[in-house]
Amino acid sequence: MATVKELKATARPKAGKGAARAERRAGRVPAVIYGNNEPPLTISLDDQELRLRLQAGRFLTTIHDIVLDGKKHRVIPRDFSLDPVRDFPLHVDFLRLGQGSKIRVSVPLHVLNAETAPGVKRGGTVNIVTHTVDLEVPADNIPQYLEADVGALDINGSLHLTSIKLPANVRLITREDATLVTIVPPSGYNEEQKAAAGAAPAAGAAPAAGAAAPAAGAAKAPAADKKK
């Protein structure tokens, strides 16, 4: 079961910019609950409590029970806006969840065993290409994250979405062949590889040149016999 957090709300009978500004002056954040074929419900939340939820992380993938006038509304946050200068919350949109609902979510990627990857031990760096994976999942079984094990990756190696285990009853929205993680070579690695590749043919040619010397000496031997 997904973790469900509780948020207390108050009714916000008035809509519009003026009413929203009045709520913010009172230390509250305007919000709306919509979806599940029911009318939108305008509410407001405590500013400080909402900030703590946002700072805790995974806000958009956490199910909430919003308590309004003694009634609980099961929802998931769909979007929120922040002040561009002071970075405080301005508004939140919540999607109402019905029984057996399926929703689309962006689930973060957690990289495992980076320190033991051969490519990292040789000086490479883990490069996360895809930070989140989009899934359609049951509302009561939203994964907190997906695990990407890079413990076997060498330099220039990559891990794709098809290589990781997904939870049951989920449908991929992100394309299956998406690259998740790569091991980037250290500085100068490609030049060293080219130099090593160029040196290999030269080393192979050296024995052939040495082998020709005795043959030349053998050709001069009969001339020495004639002088005698």
User: For residue 194, is pLDDT > 80?
Assistant: no
User: In the structure, what pLDDT confidence band is assigned to residue 14 with cuts at 50, 70 and 90?
Assistant: confident
Please report whether residue 221 resides in a domain.
no
Residue 117 included in any domain: yes
Residue 1 scores a pLDDT above 60: no
Residues 149 and 116 in one domain: yes
Tell me: do 119 and 68 sit in the same domain: no
For the cut 80, the answer to whether the pLDDT of residue 191 exceeds it is no
Model pLDDT, residue 29: 96
User: Structure pTM?
Assistant: 0.70
Order of strands, edge to edge, in the sheet holding 146-149? Answer: 146-149, 102-112, 132-138, 171-172
Q: Residue 175: in which H helix or E strand, if any? A: none
Q: Considering 80, 98, 116, which residue would you say is the last residue of a domain?
A: 98
Q: Which amino acid is at 50?
A: L
Once rounded to an integer, what is the mean pLDDT over residues 200-211?
55
Lowest mean pLDDT among 3-7, 39-43, 150-154, 220-224: 220-224
- HSE at residue 90, side-chain half, CA atoms within 13 A, is 9
Q: What integer pLDDT is reported at residue 201 of this predicted model?
A: 65
8 A C-beta contact, residue 74 and residue 95: no
Domain's final residue, options 55, 82, 98: 98
Residue 178 covered by a domain? yes
Q: Say how far apart CA 130 and CA 179 lie, in whole Å.
A: 7
Residue 220 within a domain: no
Domain count along the chain: 2
The percent of the chain in helix, strand and coil, each rounded to the nearest 5, is: 30, 40, 30
Q: Please indicate, yes or no, whether residues 37 and 118 belong to a single structural domain of this protein.
A: no
Structure tokens at 128: 């996360």
Q: What is the mean pLDDT of the chain?
A: 86
Question: Is 110 part of any domain?
Answer: yes
Asked if residue 112 and residue 72 are part of one domain, the reply reads: no
Per the structure, the complete domain to which residue 39 belongs is given by 4-98
Give 55 or 223, the one with higher predicted confidence. 55
Q: Are residues 66 and 84 in the same domain?
A: yes
Residues 123 and 159 reside in one and the same domain: yes
One domain for residues 93 and 45: yes
What pLDDT was estimated at residue 98? Answer: 87
* Residue 170 and residue 135 share a domain: yes
- pLDDT, residue 28, reads 95
Do 19 and 88 lie in a common domain? Answer: yes
End-to-end CA distance of the chain: 104
| Co-location of 77 and 12 in the same domain | yes
30: in domain: yes
Measured CA distances, 79 to 31, 39, 62 (Å): 10, 18, 12
Q: What is the pLDDT of residue 15?
A: 73
pLDDT, mean of residues 4-32: 90
* 83 within a domain of the structure (yes/no): yes
CATH number at residue 178: 2.170.120.20
Q: Identify the pLDDT of residue 227.
A: 46
* CATH number of the domain bearing residue 39: 2.40.240.10
On whether both 84 and 107 belong to a single domain, the answer is: no
